[in-house]
Amino acid sequence: LSDIYAMGARPICALNLVGFPDGALGPEVLGRILRGGADKAREAGIDIVGGHTIQTDEPIYGLAVTGVVHPARMITNATAKAGDLLVLTKPIGVGIVSTAAKRDEDDEGAIAGAIALMATLNRGACDAILAVGVHAATDVTGFGLLGHLRNILRASQVGATIWLDAVPVLPAARRYVARGLVPGGTHANWRFLSDHVEFEAGVEKDEQLVLCDSQTSGGLLIAVDPTKADALVAELGRCGTPVAAAIGRLDGEHPGRSRVARSRQ
């Protein structure tokens, strides 16, 4: 669904894609998974019209979603402009919090807030970007904030500076990363991005990992003309997005590369 919303499109239907270990888990578990997907699809205003199920060693669930958008109004990650501000609509860190929960080390009970964020549709963010008009957008998922930003930078042939102190992060994620509670995917993202991101002196490894954290159902990362940034932030607030934070700026230097500074300069 987030892929559809990030392009300014309207979802129209979905298919279930399910892998389930029927020898290890009872059918009531599968029923709850399918019911949760159906409830979220209903919230998005669409129907699940079918699907595919296979037997797997662990449960896997997702949706294949079809959406529609007029070609002249489609938003992509390839049309960002130098000078644009970058706006993020959900805090990051859910991958770190999820890892803490999986290891039974979520002593702050942060997983409840992380689940609420993951279950929040990006429909409101889509409504806002359509109302205001933006240059580019993407959803933030497995490649992390800096990984999905890199995709925008490469496709649009621009560079970026991220203001670390402006990036919204789940408070528990900051503490858990210091305890080594980091997903393998987040470490993989950090290793890959080492050739594409310059971290300002004083930005510690733990802070770098948070920016690379592999997200599930993260927010939208939006490139908007600075003259429209205030209007976008206001509209995102009106549409009820979890956050509406200006976290950086695009530039014409070093296309495809980003720099992380401690604060806005």
Mean pLDDT along residues 109-113 = 98
Q: Mean pLDDT for the chain? A: 97
Asked if residue 94 has pLDDT above 90, the reply is yes
pLDDT band for position 57 (cuts 50, 70, 90): very high
Confidence at 194, pLDDT banded by 50, 70, 90: very high
**Distance (Å) of CA 48 to CA 7, 52, 60, 67, 89:** 21, 12, 17, 13, 26
The pLDDT of residue 76 is above 90: yes
> For residues 95 and 183, what is the distance between their CA atoms, to the nearest angstrom?
6
> Is residue 16 scored above 90 in pLDDT?
yes
